[in-house]
Structure formats: structure tokens, C-alpha cells
Amino acid sequence: MGTQKVMVLHAFVLSVLLFRGCGCAIQDGMLYPRDTETRETKDLSGVWNFRADKSRNRNAGFEEQWFKQSLFRSGGVIDMPVPSSYNDITQDKSLRDFVGWVWYDREFYPPYSWQNLKQRVVLRFQSAHYYTIVWLNGEEIMEHDGGHLPFEIEVTDNLVYGQSNRITAAVNNTLTPHTLPPGTIEYKTNTDKYPAGYFVQDLQMDFFNYAGIHRAVKLYTTPRVYIDDITVISDISASTGLVNYNIKVGGDVDGNDVICQVDLLDKDGKTVSSKKGLQDQLSVSKAHFWWPYTMSNDSAYLYTLKVSISSGGSSDLYRLPVGIRTVKTTNTQILINDKPFYCHGVAKHEDSDFRGKGVDLPLIAKDFNLLKWLGANCFRTSHYPYADEIMDMADRHGIVVIDECPGVGITHLENFSNKSLTHHLEVMEELVRRDKNRPSVIMWSVANEPASEFPQARHYFKSVISHTKQLDPTRPVTFVFNGGMDIERIFDEATEFCDVICLNSYYGWYSDTGHTEVIQLQLEYNLRQWFKKRNKPIIQTEYGAGSIAGIHLNPDMAFSEDYQVEVLQEHFKIFDKLRKEFLVGEMVWNFADFMTAQGTNRVVGNRKGVFTRQRQPKMAAYILREHYLSIINSTSQHSRQ
């Protein structure tokens, strides 16, 4: 018997997808938890107890009901920081590569001052990868299918005041044909070569499958009648800024009985426009518009939308940062505030040493300083939604974002099934709900390098893109296409539904390796043919070459820093030429080196970064900075009010 790839899932994988009769995460509005006069937050991040279920079927935790008591009573536990990826925290190779259920718990005291107040208490996980089930004091309260996005549930009646409460979370990182990203479990059935029951997780994406509770866990309060959701759409009329708002109220209330006051505050806290009602338009004369970053415009202008409601003796208040700007496309341009915008930026990964995808505030601040040092004005959240803290920084600093869902690796026929499509639509709903009000987000990307040549891709991506446009008609929608090296041999069923064509190609790296002299010819031909094919603006969303920091060769060769520089410089010549026509962006792959699964084509991860994983510059970073500064200097600066 040899190896066998099966789509029938092992018991521990099946258990991921079974509903266990618990409450599912709230699916209405999920405003980011903020302290206000009527709301309070308690951060439960810190060191939690942790245990991986290394039983053969990965199901011992459920069979033995580890959630019924403190986790340490089930067996040995270790300290695990939350947020973090558990993979790189210890020296245990088996935990680094673990696939299946891992368990967390921690005890906490809810603030005693919350007990007698007429309010709701909500438990929120900012992100856990991939499938999560949560218990509070041994009672199952919610589950969530998917990583990278928040989920929450009201726990007002579950908390016990005056004594310790316990949160338990079971998280499973198994990727199946219907997750995003998808994957398969491969069973090694030859017992002469592998132990009985041996399996591996096959990945369909080229980055490490970091797992765990990646972002903060919080408790927060709201009044019983509360602001459930806010939707803001801005517009511009000459020098006047328009802010259209729609407020959704939650709780046991008749909407007609709600009194709503909405004020728009400038940076100094001064009210510049006010209205009453749950839905209306605010108008600001001589408005400060939100503009993308330039070297002379170090931070973007954000107003604050102050929303106050009251009903039946209950009141709530929430403050939402708001940027006034518009986004439009023509067949050759992206327009921000009716001015042409050219994206000179990077593709990134939310990846750091030791914490994996765990939120790391010093690293986030460092990355934005490096972006501005480069002269970059945009990035793509390749290939999954990034943390709220990263998006907040983009809003504040004027860094434009192409917001991408985890739809990477959709390359097998089963990934286009109705089951996969249903999940994909749900993920886009969660992403749009979270980021719809962010001025930095100018475009949604629904996938990266899917197999859009399959006939099934036409219905699939038409459905996903149409659904996303229904959720948010104000932004263009795209997916990132594997641009190929020979357009005559490309079969594509889906890019016609995109508003902007985003292309990945690696001339001089994956084709004609070592031959930088052919890059200009091949790149220009490919881009021109794509514009002829779709007559839409194009962004080169990936290009580049790998390099090992410190390796220098003259003449240059692949994997030397010198070769990476030459590959980039050959691309720059065509980008500069086509920027005057239909090219609206260039994004080097990658901002920094990042971890991947082990393989002979990767040297301790992907080395295409212009910075190392420790954020030290390679030669390519200096060349890229010089190129981006030349773009800034040659582009007439937009007037800002």
C-alpha cells in the first residue's frame, strides 16, 4: 500500500464541522470594543493554560470533557501567551507542526461594579485559527468557523460575580477542502514506512499554517439598549464633505422610540456638523479630506462620529473614527477624491518571529515606520484579514489597503463546491462588516491565485464578487490572478467580474531564472495583453525574487541580494512606462521574509522580502525606496484642504 489522499475526513477533523448545540457567534453588528461614557472593556489577554490534544484521534478533550473543570486537571499544561501563535513559542517540534485540537483556559474575575448595572456583557475573540468552540464555566456558549476575523456572544447571564470564572477554548487548525484557505489531510497507509494512523496536513497556500488564539480576547459592556452597528459612506462635493450614516440599534426596543443624536467632531473635538435620527447625512464645508500617505503628508485626517442614543431610560454612546474620501475607477485609473491614485507599495504577511500571527504592537509600529521610510503608500493584506490594530494604523497614517479575505489556495475542484461557496460568502460578510467604515480600505480582494481556469470558477467568483458588491457598493472588488508567463495559454473564467485586474508574475525568477535581460520584454507584453483583454486598470500585485541576506555575488546569481536588486530594477523600467497608460499600481513581493512549510524550494521560509524577518533591510529595500521616492517626486502633489 502507498500513500492515499482522501477527502473523507478523520474523526478529529469531522468534529470540527459538527455543531454541538451551542449558541453561535453574534451575526449582527460587531463594533470594535471601545471604552466610552457608557461602555467598558476588560482585556483577558495574558498567559493562559494550554494543552494540545495529542491523542490518536485528537478527540480526547471532548471524550474526557476537559471543559468541565480547570484544564490542568486533565493533564499537563504549559504557559501560552494570548495573543500568539503557539507554533513557535516552545522548543517542541511536534507542537510547532501540530494539527488538530489545542485547548486553552484561564480564570478571571468580572468587575464587581458590573453586577448591578442594567447592561449587557459580551465576550469577544478578535481572532482564532481556525475553528473555535468556547465554554464559560463549563457551559458551551459559542463556536466560530474561520480564522482572522472576530466573533463574540453575550454572556450577561453566564457570569458569576464575586468568584472566579473560567473561559475554555478549543481551537482546531485543520484545513479541509471547504475552509479558507483550503487544504487536505493525507494519510500514509504504508505501515512499512509510517506508523499506524500517520497523517500530514497538505497545504494549498505558501505560508506557514500558524494557529492558536491570534488576537486579543475581551469582555465589554453595553447598555441594554445599545448601538449595534454603524455604517458610514462618505462623499465629496467640491470642498464640502458629506457623511452618510445609518445606525442600527440593538436590544428590546421599538426603533420609533429611540432618540439618536449624531455629531461629527474634528481633530480638536469641535463639533462641525450635527443631526438627529438613525439615518441621515452630515455636511462639512471646507472639509479635511482623507488622503493617501506622501512624504509631506505624514498622517491622514480623521474625524470622529459621535453617536448617542437613548430609549426608555437607557442610553449608549459610541465614537467611530471617520475619514471623508471617495473611491472610483475608470478603465485606466483608480481615483481617490476624484484624483488619480497610483499604488506604490508592498504585499505583506502578518508574520513575526516567535509570535507568528499573534498581534505584536511594537512590530506593527515598526512596520509602519518602515513602510513610510520606503515611501510606500499602500499594502495588500495578503492573504487574509489583518488585525484591527494594523488597520487602525493604516487609517491614521493614510496607508491605502487592498483588504483580502483568506481565499488563497482555491485550486482543486472540490474547493469550488457549493459548500465552499457558502462559507466564502459568509467570510466576505464578516470581513465587510468589520472593515466597511475604514477609509484606508479602497478595495476588496476575494481571493489570491485561484484556479480560475476551471469552468466552475465562473459561477463561483461571479457569486462571490456580486455578493461583495451588494454588501458594499462603494468600493471596487477584485481577486488576485496568477498572471502566468504566456497569456495565450491562459484560460480564465472570472477576471471579467473584477473592477481592477490584479496580476502576480515572476519573470526572471520562476521563468527564465537568471535571465534578467528578458524581463522587460515579457513583462510589458503580458501587461499590455491583459489590458487589451479586459480594458480595466491593472495592478502588479506580486513580482520579485528571493535573496538570502548577506549573500553577494558578482556577476549576480539567483538568491544573491544583487540578483534580487537587478530583477526589481528591470521591472521598474516597465512600470515607469506603463504608469502613464493603464498601470495603477505596483506591489513588490514581499515586504519581509516570512515562514512557510518546510520544503526544498524554501530556505527556512520565503526569502523574497526586501526586509529580513527581523526587519533589517536588504539591498533591495534601498533600491525600492529610491524608486518610490522618484515616483513621489515626479507626481504632482494633490492639494489638501
Summarised one tens digit per residue, pLDDT across range 460-504 is 999 999 999 999 999 999 999 997 656 655 788 999 999 999 999
pLDDT at 28: 72
8-state DSSP, 507: B
pLDDT at 4: 32
Q: 179-210 pLDDT, tens per residue?
A: 999 999 999 999 999 998 888 989 888 888 99
Using alpha carbons, list the distances in angstroms from residue 528 to 67, 392, 575: 59, 36, 12
pLDDT at 484: 62
For the cut 70, the answer to whether the pLDDT of residue 26 exceeds it is no
For the cut 60, the answer to whether the pLDDT of residue 17 exceeds it is no
> For the residues 551-570, what does the mean pLDDT come to?
96
> For the residues 211-227, what does the mean pLDDT come to?
95
- Residues paired with residue 282 on neighbouring β-strands, in sequence order: 243
> For the residues 538-564, what does the mean pLDDT come to?
95
| 627, three cell numbers | 524608486
pTM: 0.93
Residue ranges of E strands in 155-216:
165-172, 183-188, 199-203, 212-213
pLDDT at 489: 59
Query: In the chain, what are the domains?
Result: 3-222 (2.60.120.260), 225-322 (2.60.40.10), 327-634 (3.20.20.80)
Residue holding cell 499594502? Answer: 379
Q: What share of the chain in percent tops pLDDT 70?
A: 92
Q: 96-123 pLDDT, tens per residue?
A: 999 999 999 999 999 998 987 789 999 9
The rounded mean pLDDT for the chain is: 91
Q: 512-545 pLDDT, tens per residue?
A: 999 999 999 999 999 999 999 999 999 999 999 9
Residue 255 pLDDT class (50, 70, 90 cuts): low
pLDDT at 488: 59
Say which of 449, 493, 561, 570 is annotated catalytic: 449
In terms of Cα–Cα distance, which of 281, 279, 271 is closest to 309?
Answer: 279
* CA 147 to chain centroid: 9
* CA 56 to chain centroid: 33
Q: 381-412 pLDDT, tens per residue?
A: 998 999 999 999 999 999 999 999 999 999 99
Known catalytic residue: 429? no
In terms of Cα–Cα distance, which of 155, 122, 114 is closest to 34?
Answer: 122
- Residues paired with residue 398 on neighbouring β-strands, in sequence order: none
pLDDT at 600: 83
In terms of Cα–Cα distance, which of 170, 166, 182, 203 is closest to 65?
Answer: 170
